[in-house]
Amino acid sequence: MKHNDTKGSMIGLSVAFMILPLTFMCLRIWAKALAKRFAWDDYLAIGALLVSLSCCILQFATAIYSHLGHHQLLDADGNPILDDPGLIFFEETKFALNMISIVGLGLIKSSILVMYINIFDVRKFRIIVYVVLAYVVGWAMSFTFSHLFTCYPITVFIEPYYGNSCVQTVPMFLALLYTDVLADFVILVLPIPMVLSVKLDMKKKLAVIGMLVLGAAVCAVSVTRVIATYSIAEEYIKHPDDVIYYTAPVFFWTNIELSLAIVCACLPTLGPIWFHFNPRPATTHTGSGYGSSKLPGTRNSSFGVKYSGLARKPYKELEEMEEMELTRYEGTPSTSSDLPSMTNEKGILEAVTIHLTLV
C-alpha cells in the first residue's frame, strides 16, 4: 500500500480523533443530564472513550518522540538499530495500543448491546442480545490476552529481528479483524427484525431503523481496516527493516474505528437535546404505556409476546422521538375502559400507542 503518512498527518489524525468522540460524549452526558438518568450503557461508553483517548495520546506521543511517520533508522549495513530509543518507544506504544484498543472496542460494542436491552422488552430478543454480548466479552478477553502473550516470555519486542520466541502476528491480527467485523455486522442487523415486526408506517420504520443502525459506518471502517491490513502486511513483508513507516497505518486505523464507534453509539441518545430546543406540543395519548421506550413484540413477530401492559423504561424520558402504532391480538377481553377495542373471531383487537425514546 503506497502511503505518505508524515509526522504531521499522524499528529493531526490523533488530535482530530481525540476531539470527535469527546465532543459527542459530552453531548451524550448533556442529554442524559436532561433526562435525569444514567444507565449501564453510558458507563460502558465512557470507559470506551477513556481507552480511545489513551490510544490517540499514544499515537500523538509516538509521532512526537519516536519516528512515526518517518522511515526507520538503519546502520551502515542497512540493518535496524535495535537500541535506537525511537524504535524502542515505537514498539512499546504499538504494543500498548494494539492491546488496549481491543478493550475499548469490546466496551463500546457492549454499550450498544445494553442499549438494545433497554429499548426492546422482549424475552427472546433479549436472550439473543445476551448471547451476542457474551461473544463480545469473550472476544475482547481472548484477543487481549493473546496479544499480551504474543511472545514468551512477555515482551513488546515482537519483530523477527529481535529473535524472540513469538507467534506469527499477521494471522493473529487478521483473525482479530475478521471476528471484529462479524460482531459489528451482527450488532448492525440485530434490531432490524424488531422494528420491522411493528405495525408502523414504512417511512417511520426506515427512520427508526436508520437511527439504530448508525453503526453501519463502523462496519465500513472495520472492513476497510481489514483491506488496509492486507496491504500493510504485503508492504511489511517487502520491507521488514522499516517497520515504523510501513506499519504506521495500524495506529490511525485503530483510532479511527474506535472513535467512530463511540460517535455512532452516542448519536441515538441525543434526542433529549433536540426536544429541549424544539419541544413538541402536548398531545393526547391512549393506553397505560405512555412514555415507554421498551418495545414489545407483535403478533406477526417471531419475538411476539402476550400483551400484559407496557413496561416503563428504566429511566425517565423527556419527549417521544417516534410514535409507533402497534395493533395486537389478545386471547381474552380487556378490562381497561380507556383502550378502544372491537371484537372479532380471533379475540380483542387493541390499538396501543408506544413511544420509542432513545435517551
**Interval 244-287: pLDDT, tens:** 777 778 788 889 989 999 998 888 888 888 887 877 665 554 44
Per-residue confidence (pLDDT) for residue 141, from 0 to 100: 95
Per-residue confidence (pLDDT) for residue 135, from 0 to 100: 96
d(CA 314, CA 38): 10
Per-residue confidence (pLDDT) for residue 90, from 0 to 100: 85
Q: Which three cell numbers stand for residue 134?
A: 457474551
> pTM of the predicted model, to two decimals?
0.75
Residue 180: partners with Cβ closer than 8 Å, 6 or more residues away: 105, 139, 222
pLDDT < 50: residue spans in the chain: 1, 285-359
Residue 274: partners with Cβ closer than 8 Å, 6 or more residues away: none
What is the set of domains in the chain, with CATH numbers? 7-274 (1.20.1070)
Distances (CA, A) of 353 to 131, 323, 350: 30, 7, 10
Question: Order of strands, edge to edge, in the sheet holding 322-330?
Answer: 322-330, 347-356, 341-344
Per-residue confidence (pLDDT) for residue 2, from 0 to 100: 52
Per-residue confidence (pLDDT) for residue 111, from 0 to 100: 93
d(CA 63, CA 54): 14
Residue with cell 506521543: 61
